[in-house]
């Protein structure tokens, strides 16, 4: 059993080179005396029409101006806020499912026990990040998001020059499987061509999109392999949809697949599906049509036009957001974070989501650039209970990189339990986390923390069980 650890909290002084007006002196519901420092404010990105809201948490227990790595965290969407990551997944205090407001739940597995962690609400227009731009595919696409995130980083290091030489990592989940490698590739290019030097060491992506063309096939394979659809329905999909998804027959099959998935949490198939979703007395077929998540949306992606795979504006079905949304819309919380009290915070901006142009090649060229450079380490991890970006989809793309295998598929352990499976390639580690969903750090906090810890330390995940917790904990 992994032991609980209670940390003594003490107030640290302010970093000398930091942005003084962005210091968060207290946050409602959080303890008054903390062993880390928090900043919240806005970063200029080269446009008078938009800015990026950031939150920066220094490493817990570390001295001011410490040399620990900086890790940027990005949630996906496209159009979803990274404050969900901070306040639900990997931050020091989290809002649990069914909590209607923040009550100060201390997360001993917070990633700022390991690193200085930086959160961007990106792209502009998401969360508290202001934007006056018209929401359309010209203003919102993977290229504009990458440029804005890069410019935000440059502004951050100008405001916090004492961290400019620290090791830098980029991490995120879901559609951040596009954001993260795109940003890393731009940093690599800028570093090689006289741009602002950012000490990039690598990236970590959880349940992230890589490419699009085979996602429907692997999703259906996942549904079938987890007994969510029948053999008859699976065979019908294989026969009628793989080569002609627009046919009347295939559309009927997709409707049937949607019906089978209705009421299933797509982000964690073994987890609870929270409202809102509409139950009907007319049966599953009608219910599926009203459900927030539709598998058939994957077939709306057009690589020629860049039509968003989330163009149906389906939002975030089955995910509990009441406590998070309520907390971040409190005026005292907004004032503490130095944001506009008139801004209505939402976990995802559906207008951006539905009018966002995705890169036809996903992040495949960017992964190839990073891998071919030989300068960076890459971690791709998947919670194996996620059906939105299933592990078999990521595994397919990774195998197609044709990388030399260093350590073949094997289990990894936390204490005496199998925590998942891992395969090491040259320059890349692929890890599954057993029982975790789309938001791995929320569902399996100890496993996610230890996976990140081992990766940052460039150590292989434990290959044998152990009853000695001390081998795995060094908070």
Residues with a catalytic annotation lie at 174, 386, 438
What value, to the nearest 5°, has the Cα angle with vertex 336 and ends 16 and 126?
100
Here the tokens at position 406 are 């260093």
| DSSP for residue 20 | G
- What lies within 8 Å, CB to CB, of 86 at 6+ separation is 55, 57, 73, 117, 119
Distance, in Å, from the CA atom of 429 to the CA atom of 459, rounded to the nearest integer, reads: 11
Tell me whether residue 396 is exposed, middle or buried, using C-beta atoms within 10 angstroms of its C-beta: 0 to 12, 13 to 18, 19 or more. Answer: middle
Q: How many other C-beta atoms can be found within 10 angstroms of the C-beta atom of residue 467?
A: 8
Q: How many other C-beta atoms can be found within 10 angstroms of the C-beta atom of residue 230?
A: 13
Distance, in Å, from the CA atom of 243 to the CA atom of 127, rounded to the nearest integer, reads: 39
Here the tokens at position 223 are 């549904």
Distance, in Å, from the CA atom of 272 to the CA atom of 291, rounded to the nearest integer, reads: 15
Distance, in Å, from the CA atom of 262 to the CA atom of 285, rounded to the nearest integer, reads: 9
C-alpha dist (Å) from residue 86 to 35, 65, 351 = 17, 21, 23
Distance, in Å, from the CA atom of 193 to the CA atom of 204, rounded to the nearest integer, reads: 24
Distance, in Å, from the CA atom of 206 to the CA atom of 437, rounded to the nearest integer, reads: 10
């Amino acid at each position: 059993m992994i032991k609980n650890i209670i940390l003594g909290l003490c107030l640290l002084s302010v970093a000398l080179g930091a942005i003084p007006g962005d210091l968060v002196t207290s946050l409602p519901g959080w303890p008054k005396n903390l062993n880390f420092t928090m900043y919240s404010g806005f970063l200029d990105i080269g446009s008078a029409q938009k800015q990026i809201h950031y939150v920066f948490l220094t490493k817990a227990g570390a001295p001011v101006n410490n040399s620990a790595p900086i890790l940027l965290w990005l949630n996906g969407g496209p159009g979803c806020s990274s404050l969900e990551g901070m306040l639900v997944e990997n931050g020091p205090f989290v809002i649990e499912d069914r909590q209607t407001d923040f009550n100060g739940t201390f997360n001993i597995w917070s990633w700022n026990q390991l690193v200085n962690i930086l959160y961007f609400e990106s792209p502009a227009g998401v969360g508290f990040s202001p934007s006056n731009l018209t929401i359309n595919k010209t203003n919102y696409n993977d290229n504009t998001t990458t440029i804005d995130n890069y410019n935000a980083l440059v502004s951050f290091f100008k405001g916090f020059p004492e961290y400019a030489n620290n090791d830098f990592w980029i991490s995120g989940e879901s559609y951040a499987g596009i954001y993260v490698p795109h940003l890393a590739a731009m940093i690599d290019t800028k570093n090689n061509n006289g741009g602002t030097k950012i000490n990039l060491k690598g990236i970590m992506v959880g349940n992230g999109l890589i490419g699009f063309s085979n996602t429907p096939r692997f999703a259906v394979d996942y549904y079938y392999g987890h007994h969510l659809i029948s053999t008859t329905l699976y065979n019908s999909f294989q026969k009628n949809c793989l080569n002609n998804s627009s046919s009347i027959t295939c559309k009927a099959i997709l409707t049937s697949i949607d019906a089978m998935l209705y009421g299933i949490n797509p982000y964690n198939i073994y987890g609870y599906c929270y409202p809102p979703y509409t139950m009907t007395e007319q049966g599953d077929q009608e219910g599926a049509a009203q459900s927030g998540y539709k598998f058939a949306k994957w077939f709306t992606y057009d690589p020629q036009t860049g039509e968003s795979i989330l163009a149906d504006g389906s939002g975030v079905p089955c995910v509990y957001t009441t406590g998070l949304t309520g907390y971040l819309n409190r005026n005292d919380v907004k004032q503490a974070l130095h944001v506009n009290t008139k801004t209505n915070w939402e976990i995802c901006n559906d207008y951006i989501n539905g009018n966002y142009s995705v890169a036809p090649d996903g992040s495949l060229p960017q992964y190839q650039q990073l891998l071919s450079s030989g300068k960076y380490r890459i971690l791709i991890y998947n919670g194996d209970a996620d059906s939105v970006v299933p592990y078999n989809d990521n595994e397919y793309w990774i195998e197609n990189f044709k990388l030399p295998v260093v350590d073949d598929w094997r289990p990894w352990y936390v204490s005496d339990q199998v925590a998942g499976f891992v395969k090491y390639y040259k320059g890349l580690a692929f890890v599954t986390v057993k029982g975790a969903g789309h938001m791995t750090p929320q569902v399996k906090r100890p496993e996610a923390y230890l996976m990140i810890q081992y990766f940052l330390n460039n150590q292989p995940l434990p290959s044998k069980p152990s009853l000695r917790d001390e081998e795995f904990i060094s908070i």
